[in-house]
Amino acid sequence: MGELVRLDDLDRRIVAALQLNGRASWKKVAAVIDAKESTVARRGQQLIESRVVGVTGVLDHLRCGLGISLVVRMRCRPGRANAVADALADLPVSRFVTVVSGSADVAAEVVVRDHREVATVLVDHLPRPDDIVESESMVVVRKFSNFEEWDTGLLGPDAPALLRQPAPFAGPQGWHEPEHLTEQEFAIAGVLAEDGRASYAQIATAVGASESTAARRVDSLVNRGCLRFRTLFETPVLGLDVNFMQWLAVEPAELENVGTRLANEQSTRYVSATTGRFNLCLHGALPGYGDLYDYLTRVIGALPGVHAADMTLQARTLKRAWVRLDEDGRRAS
């Protein structure tokens, strides 16, 4: 892996603003971070063109009836974790893949029609399934917070309200009656998956519609909770050098309470309730290894009803939000 870029203060603030709203105009970003619009536009475009930061449109597969999420932990034969992760990241059903250190070697999220398909994914579609010594899969049954909702905290408490519209899907996300998308809506989502900041004019040209129709369709997808915008970047560019996954076994009576509390932690990027041995899965980011002890004792140690806790550190992430990443954690070109 190459050396990660360290950004100056202005660039970090631009990235933090895009995390709050990946489609925010440079004018709005400039107003929130108190900088000249021309400078913000130039620096922001440089960050995007160099792939330090990117924005992708992501369909909510549960909301759209496209499948269910399974979180998978795998132990691999010695020296085979990277090969397993690479093969898994190449599969179209994988949404997230990372090599981790700790009690597992690879962690992933896959989207399948139902939980019975996970065996097919791991056995029939990987070139060397015998490289996997042990695996466990957990169905995501509720999300308490999602990556798109994370606030880095760099811009102060007022920034989210200034940059974001009230989210129609705010709050815990669970099972619901699915929305049915039209062929045109799927096409629009495909354009935004490639470039989450594509203009309405660009979308209209790509799908053969008028600009006003493209704008209405995008707004409808967002307002129905079908489409979200994920800002992709490696957290070390913001000084958050340690990415980890926290796995908790929580008493069912405390699961809602624990999930909600963790969702409100500054370090939490994502937290969901799952089936299986660990019924709560969390992604977090901290400045350094020294912060892990404080996190385990102050945050995890204070939670009620936790029977077991396991932490794995992300060493190499190969895929996020369906986007394949290169060795530097940037969108593969």
Mean pLDDT, rounded, of the chain: 93
Q: Report how far residue 239's alpha carbon sits from residue 130's, in angstroms, rounded to the nearest whole number.
A: 38
Structure-model confidence comparison of residues 174 and 243, the more confident one: 243
Residue 174 has pLDDT above 80, yes or no: no
| 85-97 pLDDT tens trace | 999 999 999 999 9
Q: 205 lies in a domain?
A: yes
**Phi/psi of residue 152, each to 5°?**
-65, -20
Question: Could you give the 3-state DSSP secondary structure of residue 215?
Answer: helix
Select from 288, 313, 268, 324 the least CA-distant residue to 96. 324
Q: 187 lies in a domain?
A: yes
Instruction: With residue 150 as reference, give the H or E element that holds it.
Output: none
Place 218 in a pLDDT band, splitting at 50, 70 and 90.
very high
Q: 268 lies in a domain?
A: no
Domain that holds residue 212: 181-223
Q: 192 lies in a domain?
A: yes
Long-range pairs of 108-112 with CB within 8 A, sequence gap ≥ 24: 108/71, 108/72, 108/74, 109/69, 109/70, 109/71, 109/72, 109/140, 110/69, 110/70, 110/72, 111/61, 111/66, 111/67, 111/68, 111/69, 111/70, 112/67, 112/68, 112/70
Enter the tokens of residue 181: 């998308």
**CATH code of 212's domain:** 1.10.10
Place 2 in a pLDDT band, splitting at 50, 70 and 90.
low
**Neighbour tally for 2: CB within 10 Å:** 9
Q: Over pLDDT 90: what percentage of the chain?
A: 87
Q: 103 lies in a domain?
A: no
Q: 243 lies in a domain?
A: no
- HSE-CB at 182 with a 13 A cutoff on CA atoms is 9
Q: Report how far residue 33's alpha carbon sits from residue 30's, in angstroms, rounded to the nearest whole number.
A: 5
Question: Could you give the 3-state DSSP secondary structure of residue 283?
Answer: strand
The pLDDT value recorded for residue 169 is: 52
Torsional class of 52: left (φ above 0), alpha (ψ -120 to 50), beta (otherwise): alpha
Place 113 in a pLDDT band, splitting at 50, 70 and 90.
confident
Number of domains in the chain: 1
CB 18 within 8 A of CB 230: no
Q: Report how far residue 190's alpha carbon sits from residue 196's, in angstroms, rounded to the nearest whole number.
A: 10
Structure-model confidence comparison of residues 125 and 230, the more confident one: 230
Q: Report how far residue 124's alpha carbon sits from residue 129's, in angstroms, rounded to the nearest whole number.
A: 8
* pTM of model > 0.85: yes
CB 147 within 8 A of CB 228: no
Place 124 in a pLDDT band, splitting at 50, 70 and 90.
confident
Q: 207 lies in a domain?
A: yes
